[in-house]
Amino acid sequence: MRRFPRHLLPDLAARRAACPILGGRPLDRRLLSSHVLAVVLLAMLLKLLAMPLDAFEHTTLAVTSALVAGLLALTALTRLPLQVMHGLLLAVAWSYLLSQLWHVLFQVPPAGQLPAMGTLGPWAAVVLASHLWLLGRRDSLPLSLLALGSTAALLAAYVLRVPGAAAQPVVGAGLQLLLAGAVMLVGQHSTARRVTDDLRRDLLGDGHDGRDALTGLPGGAAMKRWLQDAVTHRPEGLGVVVIGLDAPGPDSSSPAEARRLAHVARVLQGALREDDRLGSLGTDQLVLALRATDARAARAICERLRLRVASRPVDGHNVTVTLALAFYSGHRDGLSLLREAEDTLHGAQPGGPNRVVLGPLPRPEPDPTPDQLAQLSPA
């Protein structure tokens, strides 16, 4: 199993603390599994009592209901691993479906085969799709292949044993079920792989050197390259905002500071527009590239972001930021625009926290030299 590098473990812990799930309450998968099993058992009992069934269908449904009831009791009364429980549930489901398919192919008259297959097909697709939900991408693949292979083996046995079966509509319906199931499995697994890769890249920076490991945002080098291209191709209306965390809260430890930065990054990401781009500049600074009609409109956007951050506390404390804005006005390149924003943030520190400052700030006048004081003194 792949292990994360040791230097990423503090960042992972900070991100986990900064991103609580459902108010800090983990999802109880065992309770959820019990509820799902109860609903499945109720549906099977209703079918057993309310629908007309022949002797074979009645017997197989009754046996399957008893097995599901046993699984429900095991889930509620024991600590059997959920992965094992889900595997047993899927094995019971496929035993029932394959027995019904055998019944349709070899016991039902040809005139009634196609309608029976029509009622069986959707449930086979649902059970096939649930492999990935219950077992995960790696463990579900063998069961999926076994299920499709068993279905194909039943169809092949029917074609070989019954004369003229290859021309019957039920075989065509079975082949369509197999093809649709195979396409769905390929789509499911490719989507799961893509989502996993995207999450790893966006959250951990894995395989993407331009990403910050803590926030998942583009790092300083990536943002500088983007700003260079932006000034070259479309400089009009470009503003660069360097966002600095204000004085730390009561807990100034590194994990707490990491949580504050991850929290601010997440809050800002939720307010970005289509043309905005947020990145990381270091352990306590973020950078935002935005588009606006003029510097006044860009400052109004920054004020909205400042209020948004201040209104969302983390760890029971409010977090404030100072935003230093540099708006394009004939700058040589993207780096000069970024340096102006950084200088503006540095020059804004004596004025207090939690505000928006538009650069460039006037440079403070140097202290007069002794010669200058002598010239200004009265004769």
Helical H runs in the chain? 9-18, 29-50, 55-77, 82-106, 110-161, 169-199, 220-233, 254-269, 295-310, 334-348, 370-376
User: Is there a single domain that holds both residue 190 and residue 250?
Assistant: no
Domain range for 69 is 28-204
199 and 64, same domain (yes or no): yes
Same domain? For 43 and 170 the reply is yes
Residue 35 counted as domain residue:
yes
Say if 378 falls within a structural domain: no
Please indicate, yes or no, if residue 14 is contained in any of the structural domains.
Answer: no
Split into its structural domains, the chain has a count of 2
User: Do 88 and 124 fall within a single domain?
Assistant: yes
Residue 62 lies in a domain: yes
Domain's final residue, options 204, 239, 260: 204
According to DSSP, the residues that pair with 317 across neighbouring strands are 314
CATH number at residue 280: 3.30.70.270
Considering Cα of 323, then 344, then 220, then 336, what sign does the dihedral take? positive
- Asked, for residue 11, whether it belongs to a domain, the answer is no
pTM to 2 decimals? 0.50
- In a shared domain, residues 72 and 157: yes
Are both 177 and 259 inside the same structural domain? no
pLDDT in the model for residue 199:
62
What's the token pair of residue 63? 């046996």
- Please identify, among 176, 204, 232, the residue that sits at the C-terminal boundary of a domain: 204
Residue 292 domain-assigned (yes or no)? yes
CA 127 to chain centre: 24
- Tens-digit pLDDT string for the chain (379 aa): 344 344 444 444 444 444 443 344 445 778 888 888 899 899 889 988 888 888 998 999 999 999 999 999 988 888 888 888 889 999 999 999 999 999 999 998 888 888 888 888 888 888 998 898 888 888 888 999 999 999 999 999 999 998 888 888 889 999 998 999 999 999 988 888 888 766 655 544 444 456 777 787 888 888 999 899 999 888 899 999 999 998 765 554 567 788 888 899 999 998 888 889 999 987 779 999 999 999 999 999 999 999 999 999 887 788 899 999 999 988 888 899 999 999 999 988 888 899 999 988 665 555 566 665 556 555 5
Q: Quick one: 37 and 171 in the same domain?
A: yes
* Dihedral (CA of 91, 122, 177, 188) sign: negative
